[in-house]
Amino acid sequence: MPVTPTPPGFRKLALVVHGTGAPDDLLNEVLSVRGFGPVVMVASLVELTAQLRTRVPSLVIVPVPPGGAGSEFASFQQELRRHPGTAAIGTSPSKDADTVLAAMRAGIPEFLVSPIDRLELEVALSRLLSHGTASQQHGQLFTVYTAKGGLGASTLALSLAWALAHLPSRPSVALVDFSTTGAGVRVMLDLKPLYDLGSVASRADRLDREFLRSVMVKHEQGVHVLAAADELDAGDPMSVEAAGRLLELLRQEHTYVVVDTDHHFGDQTIAALDAADRILLLTQLDVSALRSTQRTLGVFARLGYPETKVNVVVNRQSERDAIPAADAERVIGRRIDFKLPNDYASCADAITYGRFVQEQAPATAPVVTAVARMAATLTGNLDAAAGDRGARSQGSRLSRLFGRG
Ligand SMILES: Nc1ncnc2c1ncn2[C@@H]1O[C@H](COP(=O)(O)OP(=O)(O)OP(=O)(O)O)[C@@H](O)[C@H]1O
Ligand SMILES: [Mg+2]
């Protein structure tokens, strides 16, 4: 069976729990020809579960307890579900039906009796790796765009990614920083990633999912992050085609992809807007922001984007806004879909400490609850009509406050 070679420098990661009945040298021999780096042995299932919170291996090999019993196996199973791209092999000294069934229920498609036979291992790996284990999902892609700098696009991209990753189903979420100015994810989350968009751009003609898996950083808060290229060694930005291919690969790997963009229509921005299932067009209730929003909506229309592809999001809404929301809707000729409150304390603190807003601020903070509601609405986890009713009653309250309506 042909094996796709992995580019040098980007070896696939295999995490193997001690006691699976496969000697290290056999594993290394069989896996190295399939593009894996040296096998990483972990002491226990508990240790593997902990590792899965921050690493995304291509393969895990685990001992399955009799009948899949025990809380340790249950926790592992829960964590494995968040890794749709990770192949798994289960082992056990006997092949009793309950244990095999428990492995299958846990999302472990291959089962081997220990001590492991070389040929059986080869066959299992061929089946797993050639067909790919990731379900051919097609994740939903959200692009955050604003024509004017400093309105909070990056803050929204980050907090939305966090909120999506914390939906009840705990989906896999990627956050991609296509912005070349402003703080960006690198600064806002205080990351010093080994690889970034620059590494991706330099291999734009040879992108694949394995490569992307090795360059993304899995943040301890559960979001998979691809930072913008470091300003100092930023090469050329990616072409529309290459950036589009990158986003397509990411949505095959993740349930949701959130992209932060520049405030002008460069190639990467166009690719992210084109690829988006939903564009979140950020604005503010002041004349200058609304003007640029109006112009942007015109450009979107000329680009042929249907109205349903675009959601207008007002950020930093407060009672001191120069223009009431209802007036703003008339000016831009569109309804405002989401309103995020002005919450200076939560947002400023998050940047200062290099954390997600939700990590830093209390769960009851105005911006935290608003973004959670937005994530739920965008993904159909909240009755959209209820969200709409909420927004409208808020609008009319606002109108009353301003003596309009
Ligand atoms: N809802 C909010 N309430 C209060 N402050 C906010 C809110 N959203 C963003 N901010 C603050 O606004 C400032 C700009 O935010 P951010 O960097 O996210 O904007 P941006 O549009 O990405 O800017 P840039 O053009 O620099 O990329 C930050 O100080 C941030 O903390
Ligand atoms: Mg920004």
The string of pLDDT tens digits covering residues 267-316 is: 999 999 999 999 999 999 999 999 999 999 999 999 888 888 999 999 99
Evaluate: CB of 365 within 6 angstroms of ligand 1.
no
Q: Could you tell me the pLDDT band of residue 232, with boundaries at 50, 70 and 90?
A: low
Q: Which residues contact 131 (CB under 8 A, 6 or more apart)?
A: none
Report the residue among 347, 353, 357, 368 best suited for mutation to probe ligand 1: largest number of ligand atoms under 8 A from its CB: 347
CA of 188 to the centre of ligand 2 (A): 9
Q: Could you tell me the pLDDT band of residue 137, with boundaries at 50, 70 and 90?
A: low
| CA gap 393, 388 in Å, rounded | 9
Q: Which residues contact 403 (CB under 8 A, 6 or more apart)?
A: none
Q: Could you tell me the pLDDT band of residue 131, with boundaries at 50, 70 and 90?
A: low
Evaluate: CB of 150 within 6 angstroms of ligand 1.
yes
Once rounded to an integer, what is the mean pLDDT over residues 392-398?
A: 39
Count CA atoms within 13 Å of residue 166 on its CB side: 18
pLDDT exceeds 80 at position 202 = yes
Q: Could you tell me the pLDDT band of residue 400, with boundaries at 50, 70 and 90?
A: very low
Q: Could you tell me the pLDDT band of residue 397, with boundaries at 50, 70 and 90?
A: very low
| Element at 129 (helix H, strand E) | helix 118-131
What pLDDT does residue 388 have?
39
Q: Which numbered atom of ligand 1 lies nearest the CA of 157?
A: 18
Q: Could you tell me the pLDDT band of residue 203, with boundaries at 50, 70 and 90?
A: confident
Q: Whose CA is nearest to atom 9 of ligand 1?
A: 152
Report the residue among 154, 162, 179, 315 best suited for mutation to probe ligand 1: largest number of ligand atoms under 8 A from its CB: 154
CA of 310 to the centre of ligand 1 (A): 20
Q: Which residue has the higher pLDDT, 386 or 251?
A: 251
What pLDDT does residue 173 have?
97
Distances (CA, A) of 259 to 44, 123, 201, 233, 276: 36, 39, 16, 21, 9
Evaluate: CB of 179 within 6 angstroms of ligand 1.
yes
What pLDDT does residue 182 have?
78
Q: How many CB atoms neighbour CB 364 within 10 A?
A: 7
Ligand closest in space to the Cα of 184: 2
Could you tell me if 125 and 4 are in contact, meaning their C-beta atoms sit under 8 angstroms apart? no
Give the predicted TM-score (pTM) of the model: 0.69
Q: Could you tell me the pLDDT band of residue 61, with boundaries at 50, 70 and 90?
A: very high
**Would you say the CATH fold of 140-401 matches that of 14-131?**
yes
CATH of domain 140-401: 3.40.50.300
Domain ranges of the chain: 14-131, 140-401
Tens-place pLDDT, residues 208-221:
888 898 899 999 99
Once rounded to an integer, what is the mean pLDDT over residues 319-336?
A: 92
Q: Could you tell me the pLDDT band of residue 235, with boundaries at 50, 70 and 90?
A: low
pLDDT exceeds 50 at position 257 = yes
Report the residue among 145, 155, 258, 264 best suited for mutation to probe ligand 1: largest number of ligand atoms under 8 A from its CB: 155
CA of 360 to the centre of ligand 1 (A): 16
What pLDDT does residue 138 have?
77
| CA gap 280, 356 in Å, rounded | 19
Ligand closest in space to the Cα of 365: 1
What pLDDT does residue 93 have?
94
Tens-place pLDDT, residues 22-39:
888 999 999 988 888 889
Residue type, 27: L
| CA gap 163, 256 in Å, rounded | 11
Q: Which numbered atom of ligand 1 lies nearest the CA of 347?
A: 31
Question: Hey, what CATH topology would domain 14-131 get?
Answer: Rossmann fold (3.40.50)
